Amino acid sequence: MNFPKDLKYTSDHEWIKIQGDTAIVGITDFAQKELGDIVFVEADTVGQTIKKSEVFGTVEAVKTVSDLFMPITGEITELNSEIESQPELINSDPYGKGWIVKVKIKYAAEADELMSAEAYQKLIGQ
């Protein structure tokens, strides 16, 4: 399993790539593997400001449903349109083509509470 060092992680198994005041959010390699084949992603929150740790969408695998949690407070500016028709991209390329939303960050300081790749790997016992 792969956990890029340039990303930050949450205990809810999201990753976040921070670039200035914007960020890209997805779910980790561990999360996609636990969920199995992802067949549907729903996020009706584009345009809304969602608080850190609140639900911004849902990812559905064949067997299970899982909520998606905001790693950082901000406005959802975009949902990856490719994963609407090809949700399996989250399985095949969780940190690349399988990204889920883009976010305009509200409180940059919240980034300090995110986990490093090492801390996340420790959390999941890898």
Partner 1 sequence: MEELLTDLKKVPLNDLHVSLGAKMVPFAGFYMPVRYSSDVEEHNTIRKGVGVFDVSHMGEFIIKGPKALALIQKVTSNDASKLVIGKVQYSCLPNDQGGIVDDLLVYRTGEEEYLLVVNASNIDKDWKWISQHNTEGADMRNISDSICLFAVQGPKAAAVLQKLTDANLASLEYYSFTKGEIGGVKDVIISATGYTGAGGFELYIPNKDAEQLWKKIFEAGKQEDIKPIGLGARDTLRLEMGFCLYGNDIDDHTSPIEAGLGWITKFTKDFINSKNLLSQKEKGVSKKLVGFEMVERGIPRSHYEIVNAKEEVIGEVSSGTQSPSLGIGIGMGYIKTEYAQPGTEIFIRIRNKSLKAKVVKPPFYKA
Note whether 93 binds partner 1 by CB under 8 A: no
First-to-last CA distance in the chain? 8
Binding status of residue 39 toward partner 1 by CB under 8 A: yes
Apex 55 CA angle, 54 and 60, nearest 5: 155
Return the closest-CA partner of residue 33 out of 91, 99, 88: 91
In the complex, least distance from residue 124 CB atom to partner 1, rounded to whole angstroms = 14
List, in order, residues 6 or more apart from 99 with CB less than 8 Å away.
Answer: 24, 25, 26, 80, 83
**Residue 41 in the binding site for partner 1 (CB under 8 A):** no
Under the binding rule (CB under 8 A), the answer on residue 40 touching partner 1 is yes
Q: By CB under 8 A, tell whether 60 contacts partner 1.
A: yes
Q: State how far the Cα of 5 lies from the Cα of 17, in Å rounded to an integer.
A: 10
65 binds partner 1 (CB under 8 A): yes
Nearer to partner 1, 67 or 113 (CB): 67
Pick from 58, 66, 73, 86: which binds partner 1 (CB under 8 A)? 58
User: What is the chain's length?
Assistant: 126
Choosing from 1, 4, 37, 116, the residue that interacts with partner 1 (CB under 8 A) is: 37
* Smallest distance from partner 1 to CB 60, Å: 5
**How far, in Å, CA of 29 to CA of 27, rounded?**
7
Q: Does residue number 63 form part of the binding site for partner 1 (CB under 8 A)?
A: yes
